[in-house]
Amino acid sequence: MGESGETSGEFPRRLGSFTTARVTAGRVERTERHAARLRRDAKRLGLPLPPRLEIEDLFREAAAAAFGRGDGIVRIEWSRPPGGGPELIPTPRPLGSVPRNWRAKISQTTHPGREFRANTKYVDVLAYDAGRREMRETGFDEVLLFDAHGLLVEGAHSNFLVVTRTGRLVTPDPALGAVEGLGLTIVLESQPEIAFARLRREDLESAREFMSVNAVRGVIPIIEWNGRPVANGKPGPWAERLRAPFTQPSD
């Protein structure tokens, strides 16, 4: 893969990836799957594989120390700084409010494409940082990152699902460079008929439904983007159906 991930921007940057789990009543959801995902991404990036049990134990320890029997989020990063060795870094934070519906906008930032990241949840991606800054400054729940060819790739912190004008359930083609998110993987497992598609702005304008998905929030309908409603501006039937895997007990 090379070292290109450490030299984007004007200063050396870390090489690595991370995964973020939801904590519900003191229990870390999908611990084993998050550990497997972090190891998978390490392999794709050419890093040593972090020990699975060490990742799982660190999730539980960080959650217990930060939240007790409460709710929250724990992010675990496996990365190395330039010249250093890789390490596991846990970061707990509050869950915050969880709106049932989201408003989104097109980001002013162009998605950089697949690059060297191999669909991993890579640390220090400038496009994601810029998108999240836009969200904070504008009050939107998510931003839409399109590539240089005008194709929708992903959001600043989620994957997307779209029900097209003809009723097909699709997600942006991962070959465009989106993170291979755990939340999207769970949905794909439950709905194998979902197709990969190359979506342009006009496809969103005619969409029946538009949804965000990630492992922490699950599936959330996007009912408005760029100030215009999606379809009738209300959650659709697919959104309700796809929430189910995230409301069931997990490991």
149 and 229 assigned to the same domain: yes
17 and 130 assigned to the same domain: no
**pTM for this prediction:** 0.91
* Boundary of a domain, candidates 70, 93, 116: 93
pLDDT above 70 coverage of the chain, percent = 94
**8 Å CB contact between 42 and 14:** no
* Boundary of a domain, candidates 93, 120, 144: 93
**8 Å CB contact between 113 and 176:** yes
Q: Total structural domains in the chain?
A: 2
Structural domain boundaries, residue 226: 102-247
* Boundary of a domain, candidates 93, 118, 138: 93
Please compute the mean of the pLDDT values over residues 151-179 and round it to a whole number: 97
Distances (CA, A) of 221 to 83, 99, 103, 140, 142: 43, 10, 9, 14, 11
Query: What is the per-residue pLDDT for 251?
Result: 62
82 and 179 assigned to the same domain: no
80 and 124 assigned to the same domain: no
pLDDT digits (tens, 9 = 90+) for 127-143: 999 999 999 999 999 99
